[in-house]
Amino acid sequence: MARFDKTVCVMGLGYIGLPTASLLATRGYSVLGVDVSEKVVGAVQAGTLHFHEPDLDILVASAVGSGQLTASYEPAPADIFIIAVPTPFAEGHAPDMSYVEAATRALALHLRPGNLVILESTSPVGATEQIAGWIAEMRPDLGPEITKGPNRLYLAHSPERVLPGKVLQELVINDRIVGGLDSESAQVGADFYRTFTTGTVFTTKARTAELSKLAENAFRDVNIAYANELSLICDRLGVNVWELIALANRHPRVNILQPGPGVGGHCIAVDPWFIVHSAPSESRLIQTAREVNDGKPRWVIDQVKTAADRFKDPVVACLGLAFKANIDDLRESPALAITAELARQNVATVLAVEPFVSECPEKLAGFANLEFVGVDEALRRADILLVLVDHERFKGIEHEQLARKVLIDTRGLFR
C-alpha cells in the first residue's frame, strides 16, 4: 500500500470526522483529530468509539494503535486541514455556521503557505467563500488574497455523502465532488481524495459542490415526503400502502421510497432548509416536502391516541428510538420524539425499546409513565405495538406475539 508522508488535521471527530481520520491514518497519513468534547477526545485517545458504526471500532483501534492517529483539543500545523463539524440550523431554519467558524478560526493560526483546507460539513451556498474571509481576517500575513500569490492556500468544499451504517464502505467507494475556490484548489483537493478513494472524483466550483450536497438530500426528502403523503392517502382510502408501493414500483420508471414515522437524522431533515433559507420563493416544493415529513409524527401520535381509547389502562410499546434501522443514532429521530410525546401527553403507559442503546435516553428520562425495557418484556405487556424503526432485531418477532394487540406499523415491518 502506498504511504503518504503528509500530515492531516481533522477538525471534528464525529460521524464523519472520525471515520475519515481513521481511514487516512490507516493509509499512512499522520493524522491529528481535534474535538472540543472531552468524551470524544478521551475515547479516541483510548482507541475506542463514542458512537456505533459497523466495523469502525476496529479501524479506530488500529489507527490509534499504530500511532498514526492522535486526538487533541487544539489543532497543530499540518499539510491538509479537514473541517468536519456540525452545521445544524438555528432560529428560522437559518444555517448555524458557528461551529465551522470556530474550527476555521482555530486552524487559521496554524496555516502555512501551500496548505489545503477542505470543508466537508454540509453547508449553505457561499460557505467556502466565508471560510476564506475568516482566514484572511485572521492571517493578514498570507497576503491580500489567500488563494493567490506565493503564500497561497488551497480551499475547497468536498461534501461528505456517506450513509450512516455503511460509512466505511461509502467513504472509499462513493464518487466525490471537490469544489474549489479556484480551479487549482479543486485540483489539489481532488488529488488528495484520489489517494484514498476508489470512486470517481469530480472537480467543480465551491458553490456548485455546496448546492449539490443540499440538492441530493432535498431530493431524498422530497421523495420520502411523497411516500409519506401516499401513506396518509392510503389510510383514508383503505388501501395497504406497502402493497401499493410494491406494485407501483413494478413500473420500469417508478421507484417510490418507503413511508415511515417521519424523517430523522442530522442531514435530510436539516439540509433542505438551507436551500429554502437562501432561495425561499423558488423552493416551494422543497419546503412543502419538509412540512409533510415533519407532520408525519403528529399523524402517528393521533393513530396511537385513537387505539388507546379502546383500552382502560393502555400500554403502548414503542419499538425503536433510532432515526433509522440498525444504528444507535437518536439525532432528530421522529421515533424518539413520538415516544416522548406519547409519554408527555399521558396517552398510555409507554414502554420504550431500543436494542442499540443500553440506557434510557435523556429525552425520555423523568416520565413517571415511561419505562425503558427489552423487546421481550414490551411484547409481553403491550396492548398496542407501535413499530417506529425497522431494526433487523424486530424482524424476528413472531406473528403469535402480535396476537390480541393493536399493531401500528409505521415501517411496514409486518406488511
Which listed residue (9, 205, 267, 324) is catalytic? 267
Report DSSP letters for 374-386, one per residue. -HHHHHHH-SEEE
267 classed as catalytic: yes
Residue of 125, 132, 162, 168 that binds ligand SAJ (CB under 6 A): 162
DSSP 34: E
Smallest gap from Cβ 259 to ligand SAJ, in A, equals 6
Choosing from 9, 205, 213, 318, the catalytic residue is 213
From the list 86, 95, 164, 355, which residue makes contact with ligand SAJ (rule: CB under 6 A)? 164
Distance of alpha carbon 109 from the chain centroid: 29
User: CA 137 to CA 75: how far, in whole Å?
Assistant: 18
Residue 260 binds ligand SAJ, judged by CB under 6 A: yes
Applying CB under 6 A, which of residues 72, 258, 288, 303 lies at the interface with ligand SAJ?
258
- Distance CA(90)–CA(95), nearest Å, equals 6
Distance CA 271, CA 287 (A): 11
The interface mask with ligand SAJ, positions 104-133, x = CB under 6 A, is: ------------------x-----------
| H-helix segments, 27-165 | 38-45, 56-65, 98-108, 127-138
Nearest residue (CB) to ligand SAJ, 161 versus 290: 161
- 154-157: strand order across its sheet: 69-72, 30-34, 7-11, 80-83, 116-119, 154-157, 176-180, 201-205
Closer to ligand SAJ by Cβ: residue 203 or 231: 231
Which residues have a Cβ under 8 Å from the Cβ of 330 and sit 6 or more positions away?
321, 322, 323, 336, 354, 357, 361, 363
Q: Candidates 45-53, 98-106, 146-154, 262-270 — which segment interacts with ligand SAJ by CB under 6 A?
A: 262-270
**CA geometry: angle 323, 325, 330, nearest 5 deg:** 25
Cell numbers 434501522: residue: 325
Q: Is 360 a catalytic residue?
A: no
- 297 makes contact with ligand SAJ (CB under 6 A): no
28: left (phi over 0), alpha (psi -120 to 50) or beta: left
Cα–Cα distance measured from residue 85 to residue 12, given in angstroms and rounded to the nearest whole number: 5
- Write out the binding residues for ligand SAJ, residues 28-67 only, by CB under 6 A: none
The phi and psi torsions of 10 (rounded to 5 degrees) equal -105, 115
Candidates 124, 179, 264, 320; binder of ligand SAJ (CB under 6 A) is: 264
Interactions with ligand SAJ, residue window 312-341 (CB under 6 A): 323-324
Beta pairing, strands 154-157 & 176-180: antiparallel
Which of 35, 53, 120, 160 binds ligand SAJ (CB under 6 A)? It is: 160
- Asked if 205 interacts with ligand SAJ (CB under 6 A), we say no
Question: For residues 258 and 288, which CB has a smaller minimum distance to ligand SAJ in the complex?
Answer: 258
Of the candidates 20, 22, 121, 217, which one interacts with ligand SAJ according to CB under 6 A? 217
Start-to-end Cα distance in the chain: 48
Whichever of 265 and 355 has its CB closer to ligand SAJ, that residue is 265
Q: Which of 152, 157, 161, 391 binds ligand SAJ (CB under 6 A)?
A: 161
Q: How far is the CB of 14 from ligand SAJ (least distance, A)?
A: 11
Nearer to ligand SAJ (CB atom), residue 145 or residue 328: 328
Q: Is the dihedral of CA 296, 297, 298, 304 positive or negative?
A: positive
List residues with catalytic annotation: 213, 267
Contacting residues toward ligand SAJ, per CB under 6 A? 122, 160-164, 216-217, 220, 224, 227, 257-258, 260, 263-265, 267-268, 323-324
